[in-house]
A and B are shown apart, each in its own frame.
Chain A
Amino acid sequence: MVALSRQAAPTPTGAPAAENKLEVRDLTITYGKTPALSNVNLEVRANEIFGIIGPANSGKTSFLRVLNRMDTFTTGMKFSGTVYYEGKNLRSWRNLYALRRKIGVVFPLPVGLPLSVYDNVAMAPRLYGTQKKSELDELVERHLRRAALWDEVKDRLHALGSLLSGGQQQRLTIARALSQEPDLLLLDEFSIAVDPVTTMKIEDVLKELRQEMTIVLVTNLTQQARRLADRTAFFLSGQWVEVGDTEALFTGNVKDERTRSYLEGRFG
Chain B
Amino acid sequence: MFESTELNRRNARVEKSMGFLYLVMTLILITPVLLILGLLIYKGAPHLTWEFLSTDPKSGMTAGGIFPALVGTIALVLGALIASVPIGVAAAIYLSEYAPDNWFTRIINLAIINLAGVPSIVHALHGLGAFVLFFKMGTSILAASLTLAIATLPVVIVSTRESLAAVPMAFREACWNMGATRWQTIRKVVLPNSVSGILTGVILEVSRTAGETAPIMFTGAAFFLPFLPESIFDQTMALSLHLFVISTQVPGVPEHVPYTVALTLIGIVLIMNALSIGFRMYLRGKKKW
Contact = CB atoms under 8 A, between A and B. Distances in A.
Contacts of A98: 179
A111 B173 contact: yes
Interface in A180-214: 180
Contact of B101 (A68, A75, A112): A75
A107 B193 CA distance: 21
Contacts of A113: 171, 174-175, 189
A136 interface: no
Most buried by A among B174, B179, B288: B179
A98 B179 CA distance: 6
Contact of B288 (A68, A75, A114): A114
A70 interface: yes
Contact of B170 (A70, A100, A111, A115): A111
B289 interface: yes
Contacts of B173: 70, 73, 107, 111
A70 B178 CA distance: 11
Interface stretch (B82-90, B180-188, B234-242): B180-188
B177 interface: yes
B100 interface: yes
Contacts of B170: 107, 109, 111
Contacts of B101: 75
B284 to A, nearest CB: 14
Interface residues of B, number: 20
A107 to B, nearest CB: 7
A157 to B, nearest CB: 16
Interface in A149-163: 160, 162
Contacts of A115: 288
Interface string A110-129: 01111100000001100110
Given A97-B181, A113-B189, A114-B193, A70 B176 contact: yes
A111 B171 contact: yes
A249 B175 CA distance: 36
Given A75-B100, A162-B289, A114 B189 contact: yes
Nearest to A97: B179
B178 A100 contact: yes
Interface in A205-250: none
Interface residues of A, number: 28
Contacts of B189: 113-114
A107 B192 CA distance: 23
A164 to B, nearest CB: 13
A173 B174 CA distance: 9
Given A111-B170, A160-B288, A162-B288, A124 B179 contact: yes
Given A114-B289, A162-B288, A97 B171 contact: no
A127 B176 contact: no
Nearest to A127: B180
Given A70-B173, A75-B100, A124 B288 contact: no
A105 interface: yes
A165 to B, nearest CB: 15
Contacts of A124: 178-179
A182 to B, nearest CB: 10
Interface in B140-193: 170-171, 173-181, 184, 188-189, 192-193
Most buried by B among A70, A100, A111: A111
Contact of B177 (A100, A128, A162): A100
Nearest to B174: A111
Nearest to B189: A113
Contacts of A114: 171, 189, 192-193, 288-289
A70 B177 contact: yes
A88 B184 CA distance: 27
Contacts of B289: 112, 114, 162
Given A97-B180, A180-B179, A107 B288 contact: no
A101 interface: yes
A142 B211 CA distance: 58
Given A114-B189, A160-B288, A127 B174 contact: no
Interface of A: 68, 70, 73, 75, 97-101, 103-105, 107, 109, 111-115, 123-124, 127-128, 160, 162, 173, 176, 180
Given A112-B289, A114-B288, A123-B178, 19 more contacts: A70-B177, A73-B176, A75-B101, A97-B180, A100-B176, A100-B177, A104-B177, A107-B170, A107-B173, A111-B170, A111-B174, A114-B171, A114-B189, A114-B192, A124-B179, A127-B179, A128-B179, A162-B289, A176-B178
14 contacts: A70-B177, A97-B179, A97-B181, A100-B177, A100-B179, A105-B177, A107-B170, A107-B173, A107-B174, A113-B175, A114-B189, A127-B184, A128-B179, A180-B178
The 3 closest A-B pairs by CB, nearest first: A114-B288, A101-B179, A100-B179
